[in-house]
Amino acid sequence: MSAILEVSDLRKAYAGVHALDGVSFAVEAGSITGLIGPNGSGKSTAIDCISGFQKLDGGKVVLAGQDITGRVAHHIARTGLMRTFQTVRIYERLSLRDNLAIANQQFDAANWLDELLRTRRYRDAVEAAEKRARQLVELIGLQRYWEIETGILSYGQKKLVALAAALMPHPKVVVLDEPVAGVNPSRIREIEAALGELNRAGETFLIVEHNVEFITNLCHRVIVLDQGRKLAEGTAAAIHTDPRVLEAYLGMTPEMAEAEMRGAA
């Protein structure tokens, strides 16, 4: 596998607070990579800077070999990095189908003249988008809501709609900001399953999330931030037993963690 997203030496300070103090990591194509860390460790700042929603003070962001450092968000999206937000942003009065059609339109290769003239290119683009939308809806398991107003869906299902919308333009990487925060625990499994399915279908994800179990179940690789720096990186299993991670992230010594695990078993 090769890195589809590479960030190096990311730096960002807010009025003297080093939110990012030289963070480097890579996301492999076809992987699910987790970005975790305690509150205030710099996770949101990192993904905001990578996706162009915040300006970096320093460092470099390379997507599929292209330097996208400092580019505006819509340019980065067009280059192939999409993101979702912690609060869901979808069109609640519109059906699932229309939400996905709109998500596609913003990135459509066909232009207004094609549309006006109903050119072959326009018809092909509409057909391809519809096919993509149906595939995604099947992968996230929401087929029965295809023609239904998305406003009636549960919060977790709305998050899945936002995820499918982000995937419509065939991005190279999708960055998810806390995909299960605020989601009913019984629905977390559905999101986990959907992400697993999408990944097996070839999608690449970078996920910021506080839910350690969710991250452990899904991620091939986990990066741990603490106070604006990368504290550790590795498989979920390796991260779990890393004493630095236990102390910084969970506030536990390895002995305490072990006792806790024995208690839970």
Ligand X SMILES: Nc1ncnc2c1ncn2[C@@H]1O[C@H](COP(=O)(O)OP(=O)(O)OP(=O)(O)O)[C@@H](O)[C@H]1O
Question: Exactly one of 4, 5, 23, 41 binds ligand X (CB under 6 A); which one?
Answer: 41
Instruction: Please name the amino acid found at residue 84.
Output: T
SS3 101: helix
Minimum distance, C-beta of residue 44 to Mg ion, in the bound complex (Å): 3
8 near Mg ion, rule: CB under 5 A:
no
Cβ pair 31, 22 in contact under 8 A = no
179 near ligand X, rule: CB under 6 A:
no
Q: Would you tell me how many other CB atoms lie within 10 Å of the CB of residue 265?
A: 5
Minimum distance, C-beta of residue 209 to Mg ion, in the bound complex (Å): 10
Question: Exactly one of 8, 21, 26, 40 binds ligand X (CB under 6 A); which one?
Answer: 40
Strands (E), 95-219: 173-177, 205-208
| Separation in Å, CA 88 to CA 98, 119, 139, 157, 208 | 16, 35, 19, 10, 15
Whole-angstrom distance, CA of residue 195 vs CA of residue 87 = 18
Question: Exactly one of 32, 34, 42, 207 binds ligand X (CB under 6 A); which one?
Answer: 42
8 near ligand X, rule: CB under 6 A:
no
17 near ligand X, rule: CB under 6 A:
yes
Question: Exactly one of 4, 7, 25, 37 binds ligand X (CB under 6 A); which one?
Answer: 37
> Which residues lie near Mg ion (CB under 5 A)?
44
Rule CB under 6 A: which residues touch ligand X? 14-15, 17, 19, 37, 39-45
